[in-house]
């Protein structure tokens, strides 16, 4: 079940016996603890389904570039040469990068290799023109901080990606990437989630996929931030934040241990932290086990070293 920031916060408040509380100390502690647990889950899940693409332009005579915001690792990159889009091979060795840069090349040679480092990445040969490069990289998702937006009503149209607001609904560009769910119980399609892909105006958004339910207007809805992990793992965030609340603000180590057990194993009484234990079906360990052999990778070929003939250069003339 997909949960939003608001859903997770409400469950956390129920866990600690503070339903409906707006205490700023408790809310701030929740945001901090949930953020830390979220990044832990993403790391343990090996960034399952967090690979995205982004395009950028090279700069003439500039070899190194900063990563896009939130990048964990670059998997592949392709170069747009019009009708031809060659893949830039990934270099994973400083030695091989140095060898490449010791080669004299023709001035018209276009980029062929990418060298990921901790804080930036290099392109070889150094671009001698302005090229569009598409990066496939793993995203380090932002922490969840925004409560659900529910003001007014919306109109959806079957087989259309357009979402129209009314009755005071005021959309913003920041809503791009969040998720929409129709909450009118009688609406066909109610309960299914759609990601928002574009902002058009304060009363119109574009959905990533077309609305599959029947056309409807005056529908209640929610737009919310949700974790970029498998949906069955969303509830783990409230358990983890609860454990940290009891270990920190409340100072109740017994309850902290119970909720930490539930976070890791799905059981209040299971104290195991053995990753890969197939006897554990719940919690984070169970989630990692379930998705251990699945990913959303677009990896083409990740080489630890240069293949044969890699030092041969090639170039093109763009018309």
Q: Where are the domains of the chain?
A: 1-46+229-271, 51-139, 151-224
Which of 252, 183, 248, 246 is CA-nearest to residue 218?
183
Mean pLDDT, residues 48-74 taken together: 78
Summarize the confidence of residues 217-241 as an average pLDDT: 95
The pLDDT of residue 301: 35
Q: Quickly state the pLDDT bin for 48 (edges 50, 70, 90).
A: low
Q: In whole angstroms, give the CA distance from residue 68 to residue 143.
A: 17
Strands (E), the chain: 51-57, 64-66, 71-80, 87-90, 113-116, 120-124, 132-139, 153-156, 162-166, 179-182, 193-201, 204-207, 216-219, 221-224
The reported pLDDT for the residue numbered 31 is 96
pLDDT at 312 over 90: no
13 has a pLDDT exceeding 80: yes
Q: What is the pLDDT of residues 202-223, one digit of tens each?
A: 999 999 999 999 999 999 999 9
CATH dotted code for 151-224: 2.40.30
Examine the pLDDT at 51 and tell me if it is beyond 70.
Answer: no
DSSP one-letter code for 110 = P
Contact 94, 300 (CB under 8 A): no
- Per-residue pLDDT at 47: 55
Which of 20-29, 136-145, 264-273, 307-316 is predicted least confidently? 307-316
pTM as predicted: 0.76
- Is pLDDT at 298 greater than 60 in this prediction? no
- pLDDT of 294 reads 59
């Amino acid at each position: 079940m997909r949960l939003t920031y608001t859903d997770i916060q409400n469950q956390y408040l129920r866990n600690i016996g503070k339903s409906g509380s707006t205490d700023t100390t408790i809310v701030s502690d929740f945001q901090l603890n949930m953020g830390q647990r979220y990044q832990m889950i993403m790391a343990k899940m090996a960034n399952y389904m967090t690979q995205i693409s982004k395009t950028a332009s090279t700069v003439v005579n500039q070899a190194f570039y900063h990563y896009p915001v939130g990048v964990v690792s670059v998997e592949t990159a392709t170069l747009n040469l019009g009708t031809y889009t060659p893949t830039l091979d990934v270099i994973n060795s400083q030695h091989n990068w140095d060898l490449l840069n010791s080669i004299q090349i023709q001035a018209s040679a276009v980029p062929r290799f990418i060298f990921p480092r901790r804080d930036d990445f290099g392109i070889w040969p150094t671009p001698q023109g302005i090229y569009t490069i598409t990066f496939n990289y793993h995203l380090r998702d932002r922490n969840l901080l925004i409560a659900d937006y529910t003001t007014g009503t919306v109109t959806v149209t079957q087989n259309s990606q357009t979402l129209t607001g009314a009755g005071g609904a005021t959309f913003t560009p920041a809503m791009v990437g969040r998720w929409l769910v129709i909450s009118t119980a009688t609406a066909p399609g109610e309960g299914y989630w759609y990601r928002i892909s574009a902002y058009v105006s304060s009363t119109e958004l574009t959905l990533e996929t077309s609305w599959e339910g029947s056309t409807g207007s005056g529908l209640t809805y929610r737009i919310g931030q949700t974790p970029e992990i498998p949906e069955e793992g969303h509830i783990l965030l409230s358990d983890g934040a609860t454990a940290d609340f009891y270990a920190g603000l409340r100072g109740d180590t017994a309850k902290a241990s119970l909720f930490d057990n539930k976070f890791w194993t799905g059981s209040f009484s299971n104290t195991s932290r053995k990753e890969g234990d197939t006897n554990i079906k719940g919690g984070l360990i169970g989630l990692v086990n379930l998705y251990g052999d699945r990913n959303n990778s677009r990896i083409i070929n990740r080489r630890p070293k240069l293949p044969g003939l890699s030092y041969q250069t090639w170039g093109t003339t763009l018309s």
